[in-house]
Amino acid sequence: MAQAANAFATNDAIGIREDLSDVIYNVDPTSTPFFQMASKNKATNTLHEWQTDTLTAASSANQVVEGNDPTIATTSPTVRLSNYCEIPEKTARITETQESVKKAGRNNEMAYQVVKRTKELRRDIESSLLSNKAKNAGSDIVARQLASVLSWINTNTSAGATGADPTGDGTDARTDGTQRALTEDLFKTVLAACWDQGGEPDCAMVGSFNKQKMSGFTGSSTRFDKGEDQKLYAAIDVYVSDFGHVKIIPNRFMRARDCLIIQKDMWAISFLRPVKNRELAQTGDHESRLINAELTLEARNEQASGIVADLTTS
């Protein structure tokens, strides 16, 4: 039907106010599971150090005769390990005009940008901790770099063909190998190896594809679904193993080809400087902020954790 004659419509009008929602929608993920679960510690130097130790192997032949004159055993020193602190940063700069105009979704532009950049910084830290990189002392032109989780784990590992473990002291990264599918047997083998070394892993961390793979593990049980609530239960959030409960945690910021088996209290994030938001000197008609931190990863004893590496991701 045609529009009535001389009807004044919106497409003819001037001065209609805009209809802009006063909410800003953002679905980018901000969950950082490893950062959240790791212990927090204090560093006092750009090179952070700690020590590990071991006991002698258990022996069933430790008996001596009555009146024995003992032989003094050799004393083994502790192992001294270290990691460098790195400095992640984010910045924001807002003109005085932008701060003065009326805005939708936020009143203060700089406050909004600082919150946004802080979330981005935390995501960067998570990605750095779970990447595959060795420590670097840095220089006047090269940034210091921490050794990530993957450069420490070398005792309890399962790798694809041509894959190679790092030395285990943070000085080198692992060598990626031929990818293969994650299976329950691979997972159980590394889990058992962790326990044999004295570890008690309490979580496994994987990407989305291998989280679904793990939800297909059957263990020694037959799955049943509750028909009365009309729900299909297709996920495994906790794997009850022979060596304890292991929480299965999906992580968006780790490498999708890795399955990390972690004892949480054997990892710590040590801060030389905590996350801080500071105002920079004003050099013009604008306001600038710097958000940064200085931190490193403390691998308290890598033998408590493990990795099933070189997994397919699709």
Q: Flag whether 154 is in a domain.
A: yes
pLDDT band at 199 (very low <50, low <70, confident <90, very high): very high
Distance CA 272, CA 258 (A): 29
Residue at 69 is within a domain: no
Average pLDDT of every residue of the chain: 93
CATH number at residue 149: 3.90.1690
pLDDT band at 226 (very low <50, low <70, confident <90, very high): low
Instruction: Indicate whether 93 belongs to any domain.
Output: yes
Q: How far apart are CA 307 and CA 152, in angstroms?
A: 10
The rounded distance, in Å, linking the Cα atoms of 134 and 61 is 42
Res. 224: pLDDT tops 80: no
**Do residues 104 and 75 touch, judged by C-beta distance below 8 A?**
no
Is residue 168, in this structure, part of any structural domain at all? yes
Burial 143-155 (b: 16+ CB within 10 A, else e): ebbbbbbbbbbbb
d(C-alpha 314, C-alpha 210), whole Å: 9
In the chain, the number of structural domains is 1
- Domain membership of residue 62 (yes or no) is no
Helix (H) and strand (E) counts for the chain?
Answer: 5, 12
Kindly report, residue by residue over 66-104, the tens digit of the pLDDT.
999 999 999 999 999 999 999 999 999 999 999 999 999
What domain range is 265 assigned to?
A: 33-52+78-223+231-308
Give the residue from 273, 305, 303, 278 showing the smallest Cα distance to 289: 278
